[in-house]
Amino acid sequence: MESESQQQQRVMILCTGNSCRSQMAEAFWRQHDGATWEVFNAGTEPSGVVHPLAVRAMAERGIDIADFKPKSVAAFVGEPFDLVVTVCGNAEARCPSLPRAKRHLHWPFDDPASAEGSDDERMQVCRRVRDEIEERIRS
């Protein structure tokens, strides 16, 4: 059993719109390792809502992200993080300096919000990215 004196590590997951990838990643990180990590997500240019395909894809796994809200990374600039994970190239390139972050990883995933095609085709992209995110977090 973990000692109560041990502090949770803090992770920030960043993407551009903060509508799909970072939201799914936060939910999976909390599910798989929420006891040891305090998890945050944000975007460099946050959209107004979490993308409906991401909500649907996560619901298929029994995880409800319908009430998650996109937020700007600017609100977190002065906070300490043990780890910052960028999940898209644009966020990595445009990420403001998080000077109190101890470590940075870049995990590029395709953007389900920009997938083209029919609803079914777009949903397949979202499912694939969801599964890639979960696999990366588990490893």
Q: Which of 88, 98, 113, 123 is catalytic?
A: 88
With CA atoms as reference, report the closest residue to 2 among 33, 27, 26.
Answer: 33
Q: Which of 11, 55, 73, 95 is catalytic?
A: 95
CA distance 120 to 123: 5
27 with 65: CB under 8 angstroms? yes
How many CB atoms neighbour CB 113 within 10 A? 21
> What are φ and ψ of residue 98, in 5° steps?
-110, 80
13 with 41: CB under 8 angstroms? yes
Q: Which of 11, 12, 14, 15 is catalytic?
A: 15
- Residue 126 a catalytic site member: no
With CA atoms as reference, report the closest residue to 105 among 128, 138, 80, 83.
Answer: 83
- Residue 95 a catalytic site member: yes
Residues assigned a catalytic role? 15, 88, 95
